[in-house]
Structure 1
Amino acid sequence: MLIALPNAFGDASTNMAIDAALLESIPNGLAALRHYAWLEPAASFGYSQRYTEVVQATAPNIQLVRRLTGGGIVDHRNDWTYALIIQRALPCAAIAASELYLKVHHAIQLALKEMDIESRLAPCPRNCKSTDPVSQCFVTPAANDVLRPDGQKIAGAAMKRTRQGLLIQGSLDRSTLPDAFNFAHFQTRLQTQLAQTLQLPLGELEDIRPLFNSERIEREKQRFADRAWNQKR
């Protein structure tokens, strides 16, 4: 079952902490979609990226946080950020990463099309077997990222697979969409398209409070705020 969690605002470490806590404790057979915004100018960067190179590639006076997921640098100052958490018992959790990436972005395409926004998926670049260690996600599209017809990148994502399940953290660049674009309507359409694409029934929980374990979230927040985590490479 796929549920939608309430929208949230948080600082960089809190946003990452909630995603990590949900990944570790999501109930059996459940998938959850959530959107969150940022209380501070922030950028997240992939788990394997080198901190010193990220600092050189990002604007000054911006909060940096290392993600659990891979990928490149994402500037969150003008984006629409989401996370999809899939518990391991669900069949879609076993889909190969490249195929799942395609499915999620195809769902975004369909949701955009319902709102009269045309898009296409990026082809695999010739150098796709080698990754730029300081790539910036909205500057360098990866295979199957969502692009405008003119080639400008709309959406990208990164993944983390664990024994508990799968975390997909994704982002849409607001500047690539019309000023009057209704993200609330888009979010509803995206949930429906993800449910269809991943073959998950839509549903609701009577009480979502057990999903948000405050002690676990606080532990994770301390990790993502820690210099040792963010500067580990």
Structure 2
Amino acid sequence: MLLFIKDKPRNAAMNMAIDEVIFDNLQDDAVLRIYLWDKAYTTIGYFQKNEAEATRRLTGGLLVNHKNDVSYGFCANAQSWQHIYNQEDTYKYIHTAIKKALKALGYNSNFAQVTSQKQTLCVQTLYTDDLMYNGKKILGSCMRRRGKKILVQGSVHLQLEDAAIEKFAAEFAKNLAEILDTNFKEIKLTDAHLQKAKAIAEEKYLNDSWNKKF
């Protein structure tokens, strides 16, 4: 089963903390959370030097500016996600699910051509299976693996209306469930999830000891 959460707009600390709570408490079922941002934020990859007032992610990757993008967190273990030790395949299959979801909205995106030129900003750096639309990168993802489970985070940089976001989220969940060869079920975050996330946000993602650690 793929558990699917369509979340409301939140601040950067809570968005990162909720993904971490889901990751830490992952059971047998894979979990996909689609989420938004309540205003503009910047996140950076785990190993990046923080040269801005940015929130450090648990995952890797580069600096990402958030505001109107639609973001996702995907958690799975080796039992449900057979590509757990293959980062390229993980991105390829997730991005294919997103590509199909965007096509259902009328956006015909394409996979990027790889470049060796690496920038600081994620949307200026192209990797295999990133998505392009009208000559611009609109999707990249980053990953953290712990043992036999992964957390993948990414953002679709298109400004979608509410109805389009709802359709995109449902299509993404459906497509990802097909890749997992399972069904999906929409669920809500529990009070326990949110209480744990609030504590982690305050102790970690709002704290310079985490955000400025490098």
TM-score (norm 1): 0.82
Secondary structure of the corresponding residue to residue 186 of structure 1: helix
- For structure 1, which runs of at least 5 residues remain unmatched after alignment? 56-62
Query: Residue 170 of structure 2 is aligned with which of 174, 181, 188?
Result: 188
Write the distance in 1 (CA, Å) between the matches of 2:66 and 2:94: 20
- Structure 2 matches for 1:38-57, cutoff 5 A? 38-52=37-51, 55=52
TM superposition shift of 1:31: 1.0
The Cα of 1:163 is off from its aligned counterpart by 2.4
Q: Give per-residue Cα distances to partners, 1:16-43, cap 9 Å, x unaligned.
A: 111111100012x211111222223211
Name whichever structure is richer in strand by fraction.
Answer: 2
CA contact (8 A) 1:86 1:93 kept: no
Map residues 1-233 of structure 1 onto 2, 5 A cutoff: 1-27=1-27, 29-52=28-51, 55=52, 64-92=54-82, 94-125=84-115, 127=116, 131-132=118-119, 135-148=120-133, 150-163=134-147, 165-175=149-159, 182-203=164-185, 209=190, 212=193, 214=195, 216-221=196-201, 222-233=203-214
Computed over aligned residues only, the root mean square deviation of the Cα atoms, in angstroms, reads: 2.3
Instruction: Select the structure of larger CA radius of gyration.
Output: 1
Matched pairs, number: 213
Write out per-residue CA displacement over residues 36-92 of structure 1, whole angstroms, 9 at most, x where no aligned residue.
22223211110111112xx2xxxxxxx520001111111112211111111343243
CA distance in 1 between counterparts of 2:174 and 2:15 reads 24
Amino acid at match of 2:200: E
Identical columns (%): 27
For residue 138 of structure 1, what is the amino acid of its counterpart? V
Q: CA, structure 1 residues 166+31, in 2 after alignment: closer, same or farther (shift >3 Å)?
A: same
Q: Is the 8 A contact 1:21 1:217 kept in 2?
A: yes
Local SS of the residue matching 1:43: strand
Distance in 1, matches of 2:8 and 2:162, equals 21
- Displaced runs of 4+ in structure 1, greater than 6 A? none
